[in-house]
Structure 1
Amino acid sequence: MPFPFFGDDKSTVARLLSTLPQTGRLEWIGLRPARREPLVSVAEATVATDRNLVGDHARVKAGGKRQITLLQHEYLAAVASFMGFADPVDPGRLRRNLVVSGVNLLALKNRRIAIGDEVVLDITGECHPCSRMEEELGPGGYNAMRGHGGLTARIVQGGIIRVGDTIRALPSED
């Protein structure tokens, strides 16, 4: 007997997963000018199709699943709380390219999203923390970031993005 909430088949779960009427907002853009250098916060950036953010040192290959990284803005306060900090963590310390608010980022996993009027991303997976978080945040930084590391994406269509741009899930193609 199926669980009563889900009905007789998995179509209800698929429908629930595809329902995401909320839109988000791009809160922050960060570029890494060189390996292990601090991220530089910018108001806008050029996104190169199937590559990366122009000006970001990351060496990515065409078709790669980690061309750009995203982080949930609401996680900045959560990570700070786990670390005992009074103020939210500066997004540059967490080494992700984009910080978004207003939409559950994890709900976008395996979805296609639009940022602003031009850029389209395929959300490809989770972006787990690395040991560098111990350097950035102090002892316990790695564990504070677990479950809060954000997502990775492949750039389907490039263009210009700006802080304040709307982020929305695109309709599924199936």
Structure 2
Amino acid sequence: MIGRLEGIARRFETRGDIEVLESTSIAPETGISGDFRGALKPGRNKRQISLIEADSWASAMADLGLSLPWWTRRANLLVGNLKIPRAEGTLIYIGESCCLEVTMECNPCWRMDEIAPGLQAALAPDWRGGFLTRVITGGPVALGDEIRIEA
């Protein structure tokens, strides 16, 4: 299974503005460089990087009749042309060296309805809200990089 990295975003604080990037570095100690959530915290490292599938976002937008940019979801990475297995422990490889491990589903919270009424419910089925991951190995990533799932 092979897809493409279609989007990269980070924020410097909770509820902070989203910065959309063309490339960045990922590391086990920091997650996405400069993103507030990625830094290692004792016992709380299941949420370093969040991913959302482009098809899932498109489906949620179609359900609501909206056309909001993907980063409105506040995810870090947009995955195109790939359906990620809905299972904790799945390994996702990006580019030459980066490896992320799925730790849990990213359940959409009530804040999604602050963005658009009904968005929380539209993101709820079939992991549409995305995936939370921890960094296994880091490296540079850029738009267009190959994303693959390996057994």
State percent identity of aligned pairs. Answer: 32
Any gaps of 5 or more consecutive residues in structure 2? Answer: none
Over the aligned positions, Cα root-mean-square deviation in angstroms equals 1.7
**1:62 Cα deviation (Å)?**
5.7
Match for residue 103 of structure 2 among 124, 130, 137: 124
**1:23 Cα deviation (Å)?**
0.3
Runs of 4 or more, structure 1, over 4 Å off, are none
| Helix, strand or coil at the partner of 1:37 | coil
User: Is contact 1:50–1:156 with CA below 8 Å preserved after alignment?
Assistant: no
Distance 1:124 1:99 in 2: 17
**1:107 Cα deviation (Å)?**
4.7
**1:109 Cα deviation (Å)?**
4.4
The one-letter code sitting in structure 1 at the alignment partner of 2:98 is V
Asked if 1:24 is matched to 2:16, the reply is no
Q: What's 1:75 paired with?
A: 56
**1:33 Cα deviation (Å)?**
2.2
RCO higher in 1 or 2 (8 Å CA, sep ≥ 6)? 2
TM-score, reference length from structure 1 = 0.78
Q: Deviations over 1:37-93 (max 9, x none)?
A: 2211100111121431111122542661111111000122211112122x3x31111
The one-letter code sitting in structure 1 at the alignment partner of 2:122 is A
User: Is contact 1:24–1:101 with CA below 8 Å preserved after alignment?
Assistant: yes
- Greater strand share, 1 or 2? 2
TM-score, reference length from structure 2 = 0.89
Q: Rg bigger for which structure?
A: 1
